[in-house]
């Protein structure tokens, strides 16, 4: 009997930053669906602790993507409700590959979850910075700056969905970050571009993977 | 010794602030703070001047970037 790969998305969108993350990760949900995976997408207020923990327990997802606010020990869902906490429930990530698009959660929660049985935890050891084009106010679709910050993240997760292992997915994301940093430094398209580069470089330095880097779905 | 360290921190802070001052006031960056809001140039400078946690992180990003150039990490491979 062939088991179907299960992918879980937690995509709160209750502030402008989360709204950007949610918008840009929509294509990943679509890719997961079109790849034939069992895709569970919890967005907006459905990205809450009760729903997500229940789904992890009952569906045992192979791959999880968390968008949300975070800190070294936690990942949050809708309205900053803590979903995973290194001191409370790091074991919920066991047997899964997790990608946490949130601030600093790879610093403590990442290694702790691996210690408790997670296959791999990919995330950021520092705050995830997101640049925004002031001219495309609150419109992620038209934001050429935000795209440069979130494209690498999408490359990372789409690589995992396409069967690449953790290490390759992280390398692909980092390469895209470097490419986008170069673009910000050299483009003549918009004069403010160069000033965003240090923030994207912060994401480049902060992106890490814990656990089995050869793991794939 | 302590004084030297404090002076060095002040220099680092000034470098980060001066770099930000060169940017247009309209640039906006989010660091995942509680309200999810984006900060403009002057708000970022204020965070550094006030020695807040987020200000220290912004300063660190600016300085790490300068260090990277020194080490030629970004020297196009």
**Residue A217 falls inside a structural domain:** no
Residues A64-72 have a mean pLDDT of 96
- Residue A127: which of B34, B57, B68 has the nearest Cβ? B57
Residue linked to tokens 């986008």: A180
Nearest CA in chain A to B68: A201
Q: How many CB atoms are located within 10 Å of the residue A202 CB?
A: 24
Query: Residue A142: its pLDDT value, please?
Result: 85
The reply to whether A216 falls in a domain is no
Quote the domain boundaries for residue A60.
6-211
Across the interface, which of B32, B34, B36 has its CB nearest the CB of A127? Answer: B32
Q: Is residue A146 part of a domain?
A: yes
Q: How far is CA A15 from the centre of its chain?
A: 17
Mean pLDDT over each residue of chain B, to the nearest integer: 87
pLDDT over 90 (residue B3): no
Mean pLDDT of chain A: 95
Range in A27-31, A141-145, A200-204 the model is least confident about: A141-145
- Where are the domains positioned within chain B? 2-71
Q: What is the pLDDT of residues A111-151, one digit of tens each?
A: 999 999 999 999 999 999 999 998 876 688 889 999 999 99
Instruction: Read off the pLDDT band of B34 (50, 70, 90).
Output: low
B32 touches chain A (CB under 8 A): yes
Q: What is the mean pLDDT of residues A94-106?
A: 97
In this predicted structure, the answer to whether residue A68 has a pLDDT above a threshold of 80 is yes
Q: Does B1 or A181 have the greater pLDDT score?
A: A181
Nearest 5°: phi and psi at A104? 60, 5
In the prediction, which pLDDT does A202 show? 96
Q: Is A191 on the interface with B (CB under 8 A)?
A: yes
Reduce the DSSP state of residue A6 to 3 states and report it: strand
Confidence band for B75, pLDDT divided at 50, 70 and 90: low
In the structure, what pLDDT confidence band is assigned to residue B1 with cuts at 50, 70 and 90?
low
Flag whether residue A181 sits within 8 Å of chain B, measured between CB atoms.
Answer: yes
Q: How far is CA B6 from the centre of its chain?
A: 17
Q: Is residue A1 part of a domain?
A: no
| Mean per-residue pLDDT, B13-23 | 95
pTM: 0.94
pLDDT above 90 (res A48): yes
| Number of domains comprising chain A | 1
pLDDT value at residue A150 = 97
Residue A124 belongs to domain with CATH number: 3.40.50.1460
The CA distance from A140 to the nearest CA of chain B, in Å, is 13
How far from A118 is each of A11, A110, B60, CA to CA, in Å? 21, 9, 31
Classify residue A43: in a domain, yes or no: yes
Any CB–CB contact under 8 A between A5 and chain B? no
Task: State the average pLDDT over residues B64-73.
Answer: 81
**Residue that wins the pLDDT comparison between A26 and B33:** A26
Q: How confident is the model at residue B74 (pLDDT cuts 50, 70, 90)?
A: low
Q: What percent of chain A has pLDDT over 70?
A: 98
> Is residue B32 very low, low, confident or very high in pLDDT (cuts 50, 70, 90)?
confident
CB pair distance less than 8 Å for A134 and B27: yes
Helix (H) or strand (E) holding A207: strand A207-211
Q: Cβ distance B32 to A127 under 8 Å?
A: yes
* B77, pLDDT greater than 80: no
């Amino acid at each position: 009997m062939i088991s179907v790969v299960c992918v879980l998305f937690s995509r709160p969108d209750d502030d402008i930053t989360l709204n950007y993350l949610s918008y840009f990760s929509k294509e990943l949900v679509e890719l997961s669906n079109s790849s034939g995976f069992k895709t569970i997408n919890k967005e907006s207020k459905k990205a809450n602790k009760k729903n997500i923990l229940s789904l992890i327990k009952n569906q045992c997802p192979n791959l999880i993507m968390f968008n949300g606010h975070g800190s070294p020990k936690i990942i949050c869902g809708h309205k900053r409700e803590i979903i995973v906490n290194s001191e409370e429930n790091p074991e919920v990530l066991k047997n899964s590959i997790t990608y946490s698009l949130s601030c600093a959660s790879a610093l403590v929660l990442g290694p702790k979850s691996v210690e408790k049985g997670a296959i791999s935890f990919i995330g950021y050891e520092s705050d995830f910075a997101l640049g925004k084009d002031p001219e495309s106010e609150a419109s992620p679709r038209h934001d050429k700056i935000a795209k440069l910050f979130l494209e690498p993240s999408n490359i990372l997760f789409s690589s995992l969905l396409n069967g690449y292992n953790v290490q390759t997915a992280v390398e692909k994301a980092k390469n895209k970050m470097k490419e986008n940093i170069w673009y910000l430094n050299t483009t003549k398209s918009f004069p403010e571009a160069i000033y965003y580069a240090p923030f994207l470089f912060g994401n480049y330095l902060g992106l890490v993977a814990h656990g089995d880097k050869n793991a794939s779905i | 010794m302590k004084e030297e360290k404090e002076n060095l921190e002040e220099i680092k802070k000034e470098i980060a602030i001066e770099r930000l001052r060169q940017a247009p006031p309209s640039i906006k960056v989010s660091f995942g703070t509680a309200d999810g809001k984006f900060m403009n140039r002057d708000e970022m400078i204020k965070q550094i001047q006030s020695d807040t946690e987020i200000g220290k992180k912004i300063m660190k990003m600016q300085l790490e970037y300068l260090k990277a150039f020194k080490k030629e990490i970004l020297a196009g491979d």
